[in-house]
């Protein structure tokens, strides 16, 4: 049952690769649009790096309803939420996985005195603040990357750690969190154990 979503301001939908998380998030937004009459803005974070990514992006575009608004931003998502004229109504951010990767790439190429972790943390704080300030429901899609083996390279470990910490922060702030496994959504807040 998706009842907790309908009262949620911030919802996180998380899952593995090809788990059905994006499709579930799109369905949530469609249902909410039916109930409220609000527009849906799809904020896409995927850069078109190669032909395979272009094909994936094309599949996502084709699957979305034609009347949804699409805004593409691979890095400055908080600023986009606050100031882009086309961001309106229900906001679907797909996905945090690529966004954090984009941030890491940018931050590693910038010589600054603060640590990489501190700079990513600052961007994360800004994104969460923008989502909490936004007047309508926000649905964020992300991947769970912490269930596999420890990556061999430092860069991939840094990415896994940054995304894992970001997912935890968003989940703590979210009113609803759904894990999608093999196309089946599970309401994690319903099963949450508090110690």
The CATH number of residue 126's host domain is 3.40.50.300
Q: Say whether 84 is catalytic.
A: no
Per the domain annotation, does 162 fall within a domain?
yes
Ligand-binding site membership of 189 (annotated) = no
Per the domain annotation, does 44 fall within a domain?
yes
Residue 4: predicted pLDDT = 46
Ligand-binding site membership of 172 (annotated) = no
Average pLDDT value for residue range 113-135: 89
Average pLDDT value for residue range 84-106: 95
Interior CA angle at 165 toward 164 and 170, to 5°? Answer: 100
Q: How confident is the model at residue 118 (pLDDT cuts 50, 70, 90)?
A: confident
Q: How many domains is the chain partitioned into structurally?
A: 1
Per the domain annotation, does 193 fall within a domain?
no
Residue 96: predicted pLDDT = 97
pLDDT tens readout for residues 38-76: 999 999 999 888 898 888 888 888 888 999 999 999 999
Residue 3: predicted pLDDT = 45
Per the domain annotation, does 183 fall within a domain?
yes
Ligand-binding site membership of 152 (annotated) = no
Ligand-binding site membership of 55 (annotated) = no
Do 140 and 160 form a contact (C-beta atoms < 8 A)?
no
Per the domain annotation, does 8 fall within a domain?
yes
DSSP 100-111: HHHHHHHHHTS-
Per the domain annotation, does 192 fall within a domain?
no
Per the domain annotation, does 195 fall within a domain?
no
Ligand-binding site membership of 44 (annotated) = yes
Using the predicted structure, report yes or no on whether residue 102 has a pLDDT greater than 60: yes
Do 134 and 81 form a contact (C-beta atoms < 8 A)?
yes
What are the residues whose beta carbons fall under 8 Å from the beta carbon of 184, sequence distance 6 or more?
Answer: 20
Ligand-binding site membership of 22 (annotated) = yes
Among the listed residues 7, 9, 58, 60, the single catalytic one is 60
Interior CA angle at 21 toward 143 and 31, to 5°? Answer: 140
Domain span at 47: 3-187
Comparison of pLDDT for 1 and 106, the residue scoring more = 106
Per the domain annotation, does 114 fall within a domain?
yes
């Amino acid at each position: 049952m998706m009842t907790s979503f309908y009262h949620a301001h911030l919802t996180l939908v998380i899952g593995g690769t090809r788990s059905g998380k994006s499709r579930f998030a799109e369905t949530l937004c469609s249902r909410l649009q039916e109930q409220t009459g609000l527009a849906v803005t799809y904020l896409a974070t995927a850069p078109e790096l190669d032909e395979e990514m272009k094909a994936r992006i094309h599949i996502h575009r084709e699957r979305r309803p034609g009347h949804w608004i699409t805004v593409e931003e691979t890095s400055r998502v908080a600023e986009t939420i606050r100031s882009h004229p086309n961001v309106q109504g229900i906001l679907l951010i797909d996905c945090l996985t690529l966004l954090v990767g984009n941030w890491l790439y940018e931050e590693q190429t910038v010589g600054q005195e603060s640590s990489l972790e501190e700079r990513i943390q600052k961007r994360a704080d800004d994104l969460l603040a923008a989502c909490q300030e936004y007047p309508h429901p926000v649905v964020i899609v992300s991947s769970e990357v912490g269930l596999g083996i420890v990556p061999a390279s430092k860069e991939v470990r840094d990415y896994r750690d940054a995304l894992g910490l970001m997912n935890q922060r968003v989940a703590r702030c979210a009113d609803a969190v759904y894990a999608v496994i093999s196309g089946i959504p599970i309401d994690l807040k319903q099963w949450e154990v508090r110690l």
